[in-house]
Chain A
Amino acid sequence: MKFNKKRASALTALVASAALALSACGGSSDSGNGGGSGSDGKAVSVTFLPKNLGNPYFDTSDKGGKAAVEEFGGKFTEVGPQEASPDAQVPFINTAAQQGVGALVVSANDPKAIGDALNEARDAGTKVVTFDSDTDPQYRDLFINQASAEGIAKVQVKMIAEQIGDKGEIAILSAAANATNQNTWIDLMKKELAASHPDIKLVDTVYGNDDDQTSFDKTSALLQKYPNLKGIVSPTTVGIAAAARYVSDSDFKGKVKVTGLGTPNQMRDYVENGTVDAFALWNPEDLGFLAAYAAKALVDGDITGKEGDKFTAGKLGDYTVGKDGVVLLGDPFEFTKDNIGDFDF
């Protein structure tokens, strides 16, 4: 008899909890979409979803996005995971779909993994703009590309030419020998040098493997091997910092110019002590700004994301959508002693 009682109580508990759980869940599914849409009225709601929060690079780009959204009177939100992993981004994309935000601006942690979630959001009426790091084209409306390979190659050649007086020997300190991006840029730089800077001679290309110590040692070896070297171009953030560190502590400081692609926080000391005159990268703030305006243009229906669409992005001017829904931010941004204080990433 006791046994029966025990069963009865446990069973009651189970049935009651199941009933509660199911009724609670059921209640929502038929209550429909009441007040679900966040994009009613005129204000465009834009949600920024960077790779992760607490990353200075994305803090800067989100700052630009916020400025743009406030400029056109929309509603800006920034959400994101702690860790830069695709599965952590998915719940935030889902949330945006539920909220029915006007547009979602994402830096993708994986080109494919978040694709289905993005498409679900688009089915729910949200426009998807990727920036900084793209997904496969079928998962988004637009990609805001920070820089083109041609632009990156050109600005590096321009900087080194200016710094060494358009004449003399230079070397390249790259990442790994099989790094796709770097190799594309180096090829384009060689073409550019041959075409417009005949007096500059590229004597060697060495590979620091994006490792600080290796890059440092390779810089040292370059300077010993080529006593007449006037400049080092490093199209990788690890390389340029290591080269600048070596040169700034050696007798070559002031005689050999270092330039390439770097981030302001890494390069600040070397710019301020005169080792580096200028280096380039895109401006993440402008990137966020442009992405926000592109999102607005999509939400307003001014553009659909097809090739040839044109829109205006506030102070940045006019932009045209290129092939595969890509919008190019423009030429890379040059950081010098005069402007480096404005950046923190």
Chain B
Amino acid sequence: MTITTDRATEAVRTYASYAKPLWQRVILTREFAVIALLVAVFVYSTNEVQAFSGPLTIYYLLLDVVPILLIALPMTMIIITGEIDLSVASVVGLSAVLVGDLHQNGWSIPAAAVAAIVVGIVCGAFNGFLIAYVGLPSLAVTIGTLALYRGLAVGILGTTAVTDFPEKWTDLAKDKIGDSSYPVVIIPFIVLAIIFVILLHFTAFGRGVFDIGLNDEAAHFSGVNVARTKLILFVLAGAVSAFAGVYYALRFGSVRGDTATGMELKVIAAVLLGGVSIFGGRGALHGVIAGVLLIGVLSSALRLETVTDNVINIIIGSLLVISVMSTSFLSVVTRATTGIKKRGSKSPDERQQLASAHTEGKNE
């Protein structure tokens, strides 16, 4: 089975995808455009924005974006398969509320956190089951569970808030690594990021994820277990979102039923900004991580310039629209130029030419 998968991927990856030299394939991508923009914004802010170069900036910035960074990892894989999970923020809320409520009822924080993550896994498995095995569209299912899990969270706490977390744990959530300005929470993120990068980019499972996004029937016939792959991805999303919820509760030391409302859109926006195609089949984690950081750096710099929240949202929204438009624009350009090149070379038949141009547009 594995052999067939490898053959299939090899067949897809030859010719068009490898037509250009390595450095071009690495540098001339959406991902690197985002990374370049991130570096540019960062350097500009460091020089031009007052107080941005202070040591607190990185610390607060990372504290703020860690939940989004975390959830963006499984979300990237889900979107690459052409699915979507809108219920992640509700799982964050539910998990945060559970930690708060269980702790109020005498549980220790680690026990409550484990319970919350288990509930997150169950939430993800429920999504995954309905999508992968019942065959319902993920958009519809997760809109439903977005309301369902949020409803549970609000139901558990009502209109009250839990703010009574032990200082030992809230301090840990905000602790710095040694004397650096990096918060401790980036350690679990880096560990998870390495795992997800290996999973998506260096395993057969990851190739399957891309194949499902390009054509799930073809993926099925090349031996990818489509349903199981999707189920695993939604379970991962549930688990990671629940972990983010635990962090959220401890970082702010306050939990309400509406905690983290609307975060799913921030995550999806960052994933798309990072160069993942909403239609599935293309994307890479380094672009997504840069996308999240880009949004974080921009918001932080704009806040330091005392720009208010709604204006920040307008700027980030416009950036997202431009970046999505640029993909379509670039792929049109690439298709046109490669088309010309192919016509000049020795007569491949027209269907092949179209097919390779199409793959090129998707992959580059």
Contact = CB atoms under 8 A, between A and B. Distances in A.
B320 to A, nearest CB: 18
B253 A113 contact: yes
B343 interface: no
Given A25-B182, A80-B308, A95-B303, A8 B53 contact: no
Contacts of A112: 163-164, 253-254
Given A87-B252, A87-B259, A53 B163 contact: no
A315 interface: no
A8 to B, nearest CB: 7
The number of chain A residues touching the other chain, given as a range, is: 35 or more
Nearest to B54: A36
A25 B51 contact: no
A266 interface: no
Closest 7 interchain pairs by CB?
A113-B254, A17-B286, A94-B60, A112-B163, A87-B252, A36-B54, A95-B303
Contacts of A18: 286
A38 B252 contact: no
A97 B56 contact: yes
A50 to B, nearest CB: 12
Interface of B: 6, 10, 13-14, 18, 22, 25-26, 31-32, 35, 38-39, 42-43, 46, 50-58, 60, 63-64, 161, 163-164, 170, 174, 180-182, 197, 201-202, 248, 252-254, 256, 258-260, 284, 286, 289-290, 293, 299-300, 303-304, 306, 308-310
27 contacts: A2-B13, A2-B14, A6-B13, A9-B25, A9-B26, A12-B26, A16-B26, A20-B39, A21-B35, A21-B290, A24-B42, A28-B53, A29-B182, A33-B54, A35-B51, A37-B51, A38-B51, A79-B308, A85-B256, A86-B252, A91-B60, A94-B63, A95-B303, A97-B60, A98-B56, A100-B54, A112-B253
Contact of A116 (B10, B25, B58, B170): B170
A124 B64 CA distance: 19
Nearest to B256: A85
A16 B260 CA distance: 32
Contacts of B60: 91, 94-95, 97-98
A113 B173 CA distance: 14
Nearest to B45: A28
Contact of B163 (A17, A90, A94, A110): A110
Given A3-B10, A36-B53, A31 B46 contact: yes
Interface string A80-106: 111001110011101101111000000
B53 A34 contact: yes
Interface of A: 2-3, 5-10, 12-14, 16-18, 20-21, 24-25, 27-29, 31-38, 47, 53, 77, 79-82, 85-87, 90-92, 94-95, 97-100, 110-116, 124
A8 B201 CA distance: 11
A34 B14 CA distance: 51
Contacts of B197: 14
A80 B299 CA distance: 13
B201 A10 contact: yes
A10 B199 CA distance: 12
Contacts of B182: 25, 29
A87 B55 contact: no
Contact of B56 (A25, A80, A85, A94): A94
A17 B290 contact: yes
A38 B35 CA distance: 31
**Quick one: which of B26, B50, B53, B201 has the most chain A CB within 10 A?**
B53
Contacts of B293: 21
A20 B180 contact: no
B54 A113 contact: no
Contacts of A79: 303, 306, 308
Contacts of A94: 56, 60, 63-64
Nearest to A111: B163
Given A3-B10, A98-B51, A113 B163 contact: yes
Contacts of A8: 22
Contact of B202 (A7, A77, A98): A7
Nearest to B36: A20
Nearest to A92: B303
A113 B161 contact: yes
Contact of B26 (A13, A53, A114, A124): A13
A109 B284 CA distance: 39
A9 B57 CA distance: 33
A20 B35 CA distance: 8
Given A13-B32, A21-B289, A92-B303, 18 more contacts: A9-B26, A17-B31, A17-B286, A24-B42, A28-B42, A29-B181, A33-B55, A53-B310, A77-B306, A85-B256, A91-B60, A95-B303, A95-B304, A98-B51, A98-B304, A99-B51, A99-B304, A112-B254
Nearest to B163: A112
Given A79-B306, A110-B163, A13 B50 contact: no
A8 B23 CA distance: 11
A90 B53 contact: no
B308 A91 contact: no
Contacts of A34: 53
Given A9-B25, A87-B248, A36 B50 contact: yes
Nearest to A22: B182
Contacts of A12: 22, 26
A39 to B, nearest CB: 11
A147 B168 CA distance: 36
Contacts of A2: 10, 13-14, 18
B42 A81 contact: no
B290 A99 contact: no
Contacts of A32: 53-55
A27 B46 contact: yes
A306 B14 CA distance: 75
B108 to A, nearest CB: 20
A34 B55 CA distance: 10
A50 B31 CA distance: 39
Contact of B57 (A21, A28, A82, A85): A28
A87 B258 CA distance: 11
Nearest to A16: B26
Contacts of A28: 42, 46, 52-53, 55, 57-58, 181
Contacts of A116: 170, 174, 253
A29 B42 CA distance: 13
A13 B308 contact: no
B164 to A, nearest CB: 8
